[in-house]
A and B are shown apart, each in its own frame.
Chain A
Amino acid sequence: MELRKSALGLAALGVSSALLLSACGGGGSDGGGSAGSYDQGTTEVVNASEESGGTLRYAISANMESTDPGNTYYGYVWNFSRYYARTLLTYSPEPGAKSTEPVPDMAAEMPDISDDGTSYTVKLRDGLTYEDGSAVTSEDIKYAVARSNFGEDALPNGPRYFKELLADSDDYEGVNANPSDPLAGFDGIETPDDKTIVFHLKKPFADFPYVLVQPQTAPVPADSDKGQQYQQHVVSSGPYKFEDDWKPGSGLTLVRNEEWNADSDPIRPALPDRITVEEGVDQNEIDQRLINGELDVDLGGTGLGPAKKGEILTDEAAKANVDNPETGALRYVAVNTEVEPLDDEACRQAVMYAADHNSLQRAWGGAAGGEIPNDVIPPTIKGHDPDLDLYPSEDDKGDLDKAEAKLEECGEDGGFETNLGVRSDRPTEVAAAEALQASLKRVGIEVDIKQYPSDSFTNTQAGSPDFVHENELGLNVYGWIPDWPTGYGFLSYIVHGDNIKDAGNSNVSELDDEQINDMLDQAVETGDEQEQERLYKEVDRRVMEAGAILPIVFEKSVLYRPENLTNVYFSAGYAMYDYMPLGTTNQ
């Protein structure tokens, strides 16, 4: 799948603005002393409280993608929809790196995996109910997976991992093909009783628990399903339900669902009495209202917009309310392995040596915008290698002597010319492109910057190998955040040779290295975590050696944490604050 449109996804990756940032907000009612310190929410719970009541106020700069848990690819919806749509598993409700571990939500415990690794059996908890008091059954979960993944009229927005992975389901045509028995022929999921659900996979896939975290496993009663219009009123299985119908742009209000059993739910303290979402509010306005205390959370989860970011980071007092966590995204320049002369590894290595990483980081907003990477896998994901440093240079400004030597080695003494593709409407990416252009010029590599609209960039320009070859786009500014935080989730789409596609290609470097492909395939079939980590580290090194990815930053967001917001911490699983535990001191 492309980038998880989640926090940063397809649309947002690189946007670096609208969707990415955000955070929480709230208004400060009491003094700043207890409100936490700079970056505290990245690793600790800030303002811990069990105080319930009040209204928690969210706002978002666009319209919500959808409220339907089966029809979304944005991380903020995955995070937010849990208020009213419980999933089988979810990310652990704790700050820091532990938040990337899946834990049971509706499941009574973690799935029972068969010895051959191809079947996952999940038992449901007791006391799971909908807003009308009826019980959640395992068949409702099977139905939810069917409507979101299968058939020509499957819901369009979400990923299709279940379709890709489930066995015995390729002939199944979706829930509308056979109205009298919508699940006939869907044999990849078995529901031996109302409390048991069994997933049969085509082959072992060690990351499957992460697929069960996705909101497509939230139960949908078959008789309430209205296809894409189900988003008007999602039948709640969580602590909150819709007050009125939702349509895009109308805003959303959630009120308490009296039928929800707190005993059945270890994830949600459900503190506020009401939750409101305002849609289509300008990012600068959201930021200002967060700071003023007129808003509690920026739903998009991508942090402050660029203008407010500069203001807040220079204000020592306000900085105490700021968190600066890594989002799990890697921003990079894909160095194409097919376009001449970069098809020669030594020429790509010359680019790696010549790049001024200090300048690239400045383009991305300095240290608050992200850390300078020496490898590809972000620190929050197993396989990251902090000791790797294949292209060392003083102050990260590039090693021009080595770069010139590499240029000689690939027969391009004195440099060459190539083109650099970039999304025109993303100022940070254009700034990075200009920084790279200036730094490569130092060794005679002349780069022409070509701008494309971001709507089509990942699909028909950088995402199309033919286009890339025709226009000699040796370099493309790109970014990646995985659908789930594992080495496979992160690496497979951007470096696995089998993922080179004619359109919508995310392996923009067109790297097709047999060794890398094999190691990735092995890693996801083995259940052995140490072996996985070893393999991911090896792939990480190999990609850097090949010079196929020139990392810009491991991106960080600047999240504003209003003082009246309680239980605030950053969840690396969603790359934003964890929305479930939030409470507010506003009444």
Chain B
Amino acid sequence: MSAPSDAPEKQVEDSGAAAGQKTSAAANRSLRQIAWQRFRRDKVAMAGAIVVLLLIAMAVLAPLLTKLLGFPPNEFHQSLMDPLTGGALKDPDDPAAGIDPWGGMSAEHLLGLEPVTGRDMFSRIVYGAQISLLVAFGATVLCVIIGTVLGIVAGYFGGVTDTIISRAMDIFLAFPLLLFAIALAGVIPDGAFGLEGNALRVGLLIFIIGFFNWPYIGRIVRGQTLTLKEREFVEAARSLGAGSGHILFRELLPNLITPILVYSTLLIPTNIIFEASLSFLGVGINPPTPSWGGMLSDSLDFYTTSPHFVIIPGLAIFITVLAFNLFGDGLRDAFDPRSSD
């Protein structure tokens, strides 16, 4: 969201102070200002937004955070681990004391240690956020671009164009995406399209998730376009001789920004889960690069002895998805013209 400007805040205060002026104050505010005002009052949505910002900051600042609070994410600390069960030892100097049910959490290792390798969980969670968020954002952007362009074109031109694009959407929606993703990741060579290794993997994940999820947003944009194109301002532009390109991108698109924005915020958590599922199924990033889904997948062999290994990446995914959902819901409510001011 854009940062609050002083003006609307003042207006809010004014309107609160003098109820009689409410009508005129509201008239002075743009739709965005009204939305921001509503959003700011929605405490749950604000909390979601703050967590989202923190997560993004965490991913961006991963190298700094791990330097201050953790260890390099791929550094082994096997002397702290029990060789038999892989669990973290209660006391590394006395292996007979058994394994630590808390997974070796300490002031040094904030979230404990990964079983067997002894890699620092905090660092791996922080670095894992990079992959999760990168893939989720990348895929969402791709969805939005494809979905908006095709949706707006289908809605505006109608006829054969609409039929072709709408049927394409049906086909994409019926596609067994997860199975296809698994198969595709199996046959794509290690280097392709000028990319290699993890760069290719990330690109591939973004492509798979983005390319096959666009119809959801495409349908919404098409529906909105169908209503908007009958409106007066479009008629006006057309009668003034504006070309299709101008009408599509100058007249219609600005009016579609709100639903697109709201829908993308709700698409991000879906994509995070999708990325985690693919990593969980072994189609994700190559080791040793950490990803949340991959960690969760690895953890299943250790759930009896090192439960923190299951819980921590699970919580990371949970918190992220929840935060984005609350944020998106709040955003939708804020922009909804029917909701009360």
- Chain B residues with CB under 8 Å of A448's CB are 197, 286
A427 with B288: CB separation less than 8 A: no
Interface hits, A327-383 → B, CB 8 Å: 358-359, 361-363, 365-368
Which among A310, A430, A438, A451 is the interface contact of B74 at CB below 8 angstroms?
A: A438
A361 with B83: CB separation less than 8 A: yes
Closest to A361 in B: B83
Interface hits, A458-484 → B, CB 8 Å: 471
B287 with A433: CB separation less than 8 A: yes
Q: In the complex, what distance in Å separates the CA atom of A425 from the CA atom of B197?
A: 18
Q: A306-B302, A427-B298 are in contact. Are A366 and B286 (CB under 8 A)?
A: no
B287 with A449: CB separation less than 8 A: yes
Min Cβ gap B270→A in Å is 24
Q: In the complex, what distance in Å separates the CA atom of A362 from the CA atom of B79?
A: 11
Which among B84, B301, B302 is the interface contact of A368 at CB below 8 angstroms?
A: B84
Which among A366, A438, A453 is the interface contact of B84 at CB below 8 angstroms?
A: A366
Q: A362-B78, A471-B190 are in contact. Are A437 and B288 (CB under 8 A)?
A: yes
A359 with B282: CB separation less than 8 A: no
B286 with A449: CB separation less than 8 A: yes
A362 with B286: CB separation less than 8 A: no
- Report if B98 contacts A (CB, 8 A): yes
Interface hits, B7-27 → A, CB 8 Å: none
- Report if A263 contacts B (CB, 8 A): no
A313 with B84: CB separation less than 8 A: yes
B282 with A314: CB separation less than 8 A: no
- Chain B residues with CB under 8 Å of A437's CB are 288
- Chain A residues with CB under 8 Å of B305's CB are 310-311, 314
- Chain A residues with CB under 8 Å of B287's CB are 430, 433-434, 449, 451
- Count A-B pairs with CB separation below 8 Å: 85
Min Cβ gap B286→A in Å is 5
Q: In the complex, what distance in Å separates the CA atom of A308 from the CA atom of B300?
A: 11
- Report if B318 contacts A (CB, 8 A): no
Q: In the complex, what distance in Å separates the CA atom of A367 from the CA atom of B84?
A: 6
B304 with A308: CB separation less than 8 A: yes
Q: In the complex, what distance in Å separates the CA atom of A358 from the CA atom of B118?
A: 14
- Chain B residues with CB under 8 Å of A308's CB are 304
Min Cβ gap B80→A in Å is 12
Q: In the complex, what distance in Å separates the CA atom of A437 from the CA atom of B304?
A: 27
Q: In the complex, what distance in Å separates the CA atom of A358 from the CA atom of B283?
A: 29
Q: In the complex, what distance in Å separates the CA atom of A437 from the CA atom of B289?
A: 12
B302 with A307: CB separation less than 8 A: yes
Which among B76, B301, B303 is the interface contact of A427 at CB below 8 angstroms?
A: B301
Which among A310, A359, A361, A450 is the interface contact of B302 at CB below 8 angstroms?
A: A310
Q: A314-B99, A434-B288 are in contact. Are A362 and B81 (CB under 8 A)?
A: yes
Min Cβ gap B101→A in Å is 11
Min Cβ gap B183→A in Å is 10
**Number of interface residues, chain B, beta carbon within 8 A:** 31
- Chain A residues with CB under 8 Å of B83's CB are 358, 361-362, 366-367
Closest to B99 in A: A314
- Chain B residues with CB under 8 Å of A451's CB are 282, 286-287
- Chain B residues with CB under 8 Å of A430's CB are 287
Which among B76, B82, B117, B301 is the interface contact of A306 at CB below 8 angstroms?
A: B301
- Report if A24 contacts B (CB, 8 A): no
- Report if A232 contacts B (CB, 8 A): no
Q: In the complex, what distance in Å separates the CA atom of A307 from the CA atom of B78?
A: 20
A310 with B190: CB separation less than 8 A: no
- Chain A residues with CB under 8 Å of B337's CB are none
B interface secondary structure, majority = loop
Q: In the complex, what distance in Å separates the CA atom of A186 from the CA atom of B85?
A: 55
- Chain B residues with CB under 8 Å of A453's CB are 186
Question: How does the 8 Å CB contact mask read for B292-336 relative to A, with 1 for contact and 0 for none?
Answer: 000001101111110000000000000000000000000000000
Min Cβ gap A449→B in Å is 5
Closest to B298 in A: A427
Most-contacted residue by chain B among A310, A448, A449, A452 (CB, 10 A): A310
Q: In the complex, what distance in Å separates the CA atom of A362 from the CA atom of B84?
A: 7
B304 with A310: CB separation less than 8 A: yes
B117 with A314: CB separation less than 8 A: no
Min Cβ gap B116→A in Å is 6
- Report if B203 contacts A (CB, 8 A): no
Min Cβ gap A207→B in Å is 37
Q: In the complex, what distance in Å separates the CA atom of A450 from the CA atom of B201?
A: 11
- Report if A121 contacts B (CB, 8 A): no
Q: In the complex, what distance in Å separates the CA atom of A453 from the CA atom of B301?
A: 19
Min Cβ gap A362→B in Å is 5
- Chain A residues with CB under 8 Å of B189's CB are 471
A314 with B85: CB separation less than 8 A: yes
- Report if B86 contacts A (CB, 8 A): yes
Q: In the complex, what distance in Å separates the CA atom of A313 from the CA atom of B82?
A: 12
Closest to A428 in B: B301
Which among A313, A367, A435 is the interface contact of B117 at CB below 8 angstroms?
A: A435
B86 with A366: CB separation less than 8 A: yes
Closest to B286 in A: A449
Closest to B285 in A: A451
Most-contacted residue by chain A among B76, B116, B189 (CB, 10 A): B116
Question: How does the 8 Å CB contact mask read for A11-28 relative to B, with 1 for contact and 0 for none?
Answer: 000000000000000000
Q: In the complex, what distance in Å separates the CA atom of A264 from the CA atom of B209?
A: 65
- Chain B residues with CB under 8 Å of A362's CB are 78, 81, 83, 86, 116-117
- Chain A residues with CB under 8 Å of B117's CB are 362-363, 431, 434-435, 438
Min Cβ gap A441→B in Å is 9
A431 with B84: CB separation less than 8 A: no
- Chain A residues with CB under 8 Å of B86's CB are 310, 362, 365-366
- Chain A residues with CB under 8 Å of B301's CB are 305-307, 310, 427
Q: In the complex, what distance in Å separates the CA atom of A464 from the CA atom of B43?
A: 60
Question: How does the 8 Å CB contact mask read for B63-93 relative to A, with 1 for contact and 0 for none?
Answer: 0000000000010101001111111000000
- Chain B residues with CB under 8 Å of A435's CB are 76, 117
Q: In the complex, what distance in Å separates the CA atom of A424 from the CA atom of B304?
A: 23
Q: In the complex, what distance in Å separates the CA atom of A307 from the CA atom of B76?
A: 22
- Chain A residues with CB under 8 Å of B283's CB are 424
Closest to A425 in B: B282
Q: In the complex, what distance in Å separates the CA atom of A313 from the CA atom of B186?
A: 36
- Chain A residues with CB under 8 Å of B82's CB are 366
Question: How does the 8 Å CB contact mask read for A298-311 relative to B, with 1 for contact and 0 for none?
Answer: 00000001111011
Contacts A359-B76, A362-B86, A427-B297 supplied; 15 other A-B pairs, CB < 8 Å: A307-B303, A313-B85, A314-B84, A314-B85, A314-B98, A314-B305, A358-B78, A366-B84, A425-B282, A433-B287, A449-B286, A449-B288, A451-B282, A451-B287, A452-B186
Q: Can you list 28 A-B pairs, Cβ within 8 angstroms, ordered by A?
A: A307-B300, A307-B303, A310-B86, A310-B302, A311-B305, A314-B98, A359-B76, A359-B78, A362-B86, A362-B116, A366-B84, A366-B85, A366-B86, A367-B83, A367-B84, A419-B190, A427-B301, A431-B117, A435-B117, A437-B288, A438-B74, A438-B76, A438-B288, A448-B197, A449-B286, A451-B282, A451-B286, A471-B189
